[in-house]
Chains A and B, each alone.
Chain A
Amino acid sequence: MTLLPDLALVLLILTAAVWTVAVRDRRDAVIGFIVVGLLLSLAWVRLNAVDVALTEAAIGGGATGLLLLRACARLVPRPAESVLPHPAMWILTGLLCSVIAAGLAAIVVMPVEPPATLAPEAAANMGELGLGNPVTVVLLAYRALDTLLEKVVLVLALIGVWTLTPEQFWGGAPASLRAQQSSGALRLLAQVLPPVGVVIGVYLVWNGADHPGGTFQGGTVLAAMWLLVMMADLREPPEIRLHTLRLLVILGPVVFLVAGFAGFWIANGFLSYPPAFAKPIIVIVEAALALSIAVILGMLVAGPAARAPR
C-alpha cells in the first residue's frame, strides 16, 4: 500500500525526464529540467536523504534553472529542426546512456554482500568533532580535501567564464540581468523576499553543523536572493575588476587552506583539526565558504563582462 505513492513518484520523474529530453524547444527543456529537479528532491525526501533533498531543491530547482534560462536567452535562436544530429549519434548516445542506467540499476538491485560501508566507523568517531550532522562531518573533516578541491573548482569555473570577456570590456560589469518590462510586482518581491531569504540562507549554513543543511545550500539561497535584487533592477552586477569582489570569491578557499595548513602545527597534519577546536574551525570555514559560494554563483549567472569599465 505504501509502495503505491512511491511508484507514482517514480513514474512522474520518468515522465518528466523523458519529456525534457524529447522536447525540441530549449526553454521548454529547461522548464522540464526544473520540474525533474523538484520531483527528485521529493524522491530524496522519501529516501530519508534530507541533505541531498535540500541541495536538490536549492540548486536543481532554483540556481541551475536560472543559469540555464539565462544561457537560453543569450544563445542565438535556431529553428528547432536544423539542430537534429546524425542518426548514428542518436543511437550511440542512447546506447551509452542505457549502459550507464543498466550499470547503476545492477549495482542497486544486486548489492555487494556484505555491503561495503564506512558508515559505522564514521558515526563512531563523530563525537570527537562535536558536530551532529554526519554529512557535514564527512564533507569537512573526513573528506575535507575533496570539499576543498570542489570549492577551488568553483573559482576556476568563474575564471573560465570571465575569460570569455571581450578585450575592450575587461574589468567591466556583466550584462544587466533586469527583466524586459520593469514590473512593480517584481520590485516588490525583490524588496520583500531577500530579508527573509538571507535569514534562511544563514540559518541553513549555521544549522549544517548539527542538522541537515550546509554551505552549499545556504550559499545558493544567498546567491538566489542577490540575483533576485539584480533581476528587479534594484542593483547592477558589480564590475569584475573590483578588489572586494575578487577577495570575496577567494575568501572561502583561502580560509579553508589556512585552516588546512594550520593543521600541521595544531593537529596531526594537513586538514586535520584538534578535537577541542574542531567545531569552531569548521563553522568559520563553512561561513567563509558560504559567502564565497554565494558570490561565485551570482557572478557565474551574471556571466562575462559586457560593458567597458567606468
Chain B
Amino acid sequence: MIDFLYGAAALLLLLTGLGLARMMWGPAPADRMMAAQLLGTGGGAIALLIATASGITAIIDIALVLALLAAFAAVALTLGEPGTKQPDGQANP
C-alpha cells in the first residue's frame, strides 16, 4: 500500500511537471500562472499522499497551506495589467 501511495505521488509529480511546459511556452502571463496553479494543486495532492505513506501527519499542514495560498497567487496576477489607470489617479504601468 505504501509503495502504491509513493507511486501515485511520483506519477502526480510527473504529470504536474509536464505543466511546466505551459509555463515556458505561455504565451500570456495567465497561461503561465495556470501552470503555477496546477503545481500548487498537484503539490497539495502529492503532500497528502506522502503524509499518508510516511505517517508524518504534519505534512498535511503543507497541503493545507498550498491549497489556501494557491488561489492567492492567481489573484495577485490581476494587479497591474499593463496600460490601465488606477482610480486614484496614479498611473499604473
Contact = CB atoms under 8 A, between A and B. Distances in A.
A and B: interacting chains: yes
Interface of A: 2, 4-5, 8-9, 12, 15-16, 19, 25, 27-28, 31-32, 34-35, 38-39, 41-42, 45-46, 48, 50, 53-54, 57-58, 61-62, 65-66, 69-70, 72-77, 175-181, 183, 186, 189, 193, 196-197, 200, 204, 207, 211-213, 217, 221, 224, 227-228, 231-232, 306-307
B1 interface: no
Contacts of B64: 200
A69 B88 contact: no
Contact of B58 (A4, A46, A66, A212): A212
Contacts of B17: 8, 12
A21 B58 CA distance: 33
Contacts of B26: 28
B71 A35 contact: no
A207 B61 contact: yes
Contacts of A57: 43, 62, 65-66, 69
A19 B22 CA distance: 12
Given A35-B39, A39-B39, A204-B61, A16 B23 contact: yes
18 contacts: A19-B24, A35-B35, A42-B47, A45-B62, A46-B50, A57-B62, A61-B40, A61-B66, A65-B73, A73-B93, A176-B87, A176-B88, A179-B75, A181-B78, A197-B68, A200-B65, A212-B58, A227-B72
